Structure 1
Amino acid sequence: MTAAVEHYARLLAEHYTWMLGGDVHAAASGQLALLRKLGVHAEFGGPEGSGDSSGSGDSDGGSIAVDLGCGPGTQALALVRLGFSPVIAVDTSERLLTELTQAHARTGGAPEALRPLHRDIRDALPEAAPAESVAAVVCMGDTLPHLPTKDDVTRLLRDIAHALRRGGHFVATYRDLTAELHGDDRFLPVRSTDDRLLTCFLEYVDADTVLVHDLLHTRSATGWELRTSSYPKLRIPAQWLAGQCRAAGLEVRHDETGPRGLRILHAVKP
């Protein structure tokens, strides 16, 4: 994941919360609504919003959740509000993990309800979660396509299935980039405000990879400055991903395209 890690360190991490609208708590509310709709909840957790749970840190409690590629915390904060504890929030960006920790503190949530983990998502589950100890794993916001190869996706799904307890949930949101865009359609506006403008450009490399070029204009007292960076993303077919979930032992319950073109996949360990 070196290319993606460097891309975030050089360009995106600094502006990621702005990309989400500037308010991480508002974005978390949107993720909370989605998780509720899918039926994800902390079965043994405390009251929603308390961040308290009788199973905090206990593999028998059924309340542990893992957010793979947590960013500034839109999913992790939602999981805490649903009563999961601890929520293990994994990301390669220390800057974004710090933003998440600060956002959680501002809510008055219990410190033990959130456990930041600075790791590659491919290595996190074997270290952080014993077998059948986790009630929910989420990998959202287009994180899966950041993995280098489809084999990495397959191995990660096996790790997720191994970590989930019976009845545990897996939720992924991602972009299915398999349909190739042409011409001007490859230029995609992300967000613009008076002081910033972010556009991305897609360059199709092969059947499995698209090169994403981010073009960020920032405005200062002296004018506009352009910064650019590129990184590869996987083209993950929706049918293939659902099949890999089933092969890992997960039952796919929901698989469709949702708002903003993100594919939503929800699976459960039978």
Structure 2
Amino acid sequence: MDLYEALGAQYDEMISWESRYGREGPFFRALFEKEKVESVVDAASGTGMHARWFAGWGLNVVAADPSPAMMATAAHNTSGLPVRLLQAGFGELRASLDGQFDAVTCLGNSLPHLLTDDALAAALADFRALLRQGGILVLHNNNYDAILDHRDRFMPLAARHTPDGHKLFVRFFDFPHEPGPLAFNVVVLSQEPNGWTMEVNSTKHRPLRRRDVEALLIGAGFSAPEMYGSFAGDPFDEDRSDNLIAVAHAA
């Protein structure tokens, strides 16, 4: 089963959205105001939390994701808000949407799920086709320069108290012997009355370095991107940053 289908609503238990809003909300509000953004497509929108924020700010929002489980949770999270939900994957958005948009976002390390050059090129071309001239694309990935160079396997442990009891979310990478995709694993440990249960699911990530992201964007018709290492606007540091956030304009 697909990792995200398996996680379903547990995805929102794993992510501390309140903390993320505190970090990411000011970044996006300032950027969208600066760029006069009124409409946005959130590609690989997952459970719809970013779409919920954006719609709450009065923007016209499309949230697109290929996963039925993610779309079902997004419908709940955006209930009562003017968010259009679209079940569609990378490279499929332009064909399903009319008009042009001021911004496209692709967040939460979504783009590295595309494993081939052709799939990546198609996704970036699709993003460009959605945007008006001068519109912005925001990509948010892990810093794979640091992950690859330092062999950083483990992400921070997420310990949560949920309506179903205590859960631990353990996320880590397995590195291949030869250059290629990484295995990204999510282990969910759930405390039950008779002990703990364990659920393990995995997917593949293509570890996109900074130079890869820049080349993909320019090749798809975007300007040279501004690169940040955090949503506080810190410059990207290949050795130390946790994130790679790229902001590029449709040329």
TM-score bin (small chain)? 0.7 to 0.9
- Cα 1:30–1:182 change in 2 (3 A) is closer
> Is this contact kept in 2: 1:25–1:74, CA < 8 A?
no
1:82 and 2:57 aligned = yes
- Please list every run of 5 or more consecutive structure 2 residues that lacks an aligned counterpart in the other structure: 232-240
What TM-score, normalized to structure 2? 0.83
The answer as to whether partners of 1:29 and 1:78 remain within 8 angstroms in 2 is no
**Is the Cα–Cα contact under 8 Å of residues 19 and 190 in structure 1 kept in the other structure?**
no
Query: Which deviations, in whole Å up to 9, do the C-alpha atoms of 1:195-222 show, x marking residues without a partner?
Result: 1111123111242310112211011111
Alpha-carbon separation, structure 2, partners of 1:151 and 1:20? 31
Shift of 1:30: 4.2
Shift of the 121–15 alpha-carbon distance from structure 1 to 2, 3 Å rule, reads same
Question: Residues 9 and 73 of structure 2 are in contact (CA less than 8 Å); yes or no, is this contact kept in structure 1?
Answer: no
Deviation for aligned residue 1:181: 6.4
User: Which residues in structure 2 correspond to 1:149-228 (within 5 Å)?
Assistant: 149-178=116-145, 179-180=147-148, 185-194=152-161, 195-205=166-176, 206-228=178-200
Percent identical among aligned pairs is 21
Q: Hey, what's the Cα distance between the residues in 2 that align with 1:217 and 1:253? A: 39
**Normalization by structure 1: what TM-score?**
0.78
Instruction: Find the aligned partners of 1:193 and 1:102 in 2 and give their Cα distance.
Output: 21
Q: Distance in 2 between matches of 1:148 and 1:162?
A: 21
**CA RMSD between the two structures:** 2.5
| Conserved 8 A contact 1:42-1:84 | no
Q: What is the match of residue 74 of structure 2?
A: 100
Query: Quick check: 250-259 or 133-142, which moved more?
Result: 250-259
**Structure 1 alignment gaps of length 5 or more:** 45-62
2:236 matched residue in structure 1: none
Q: 1:234 to 1:155 in 2, by over 3 A?
A: same
Alpha-carbon separation, structure 2, partners of 1:89 and 1:41: 22
Greater length-normalized contact order (CA 8 Å, ≥ 6 residues apart): 2
Secondary structure, in 3 states, of the residue corresponding to 1:199? strand
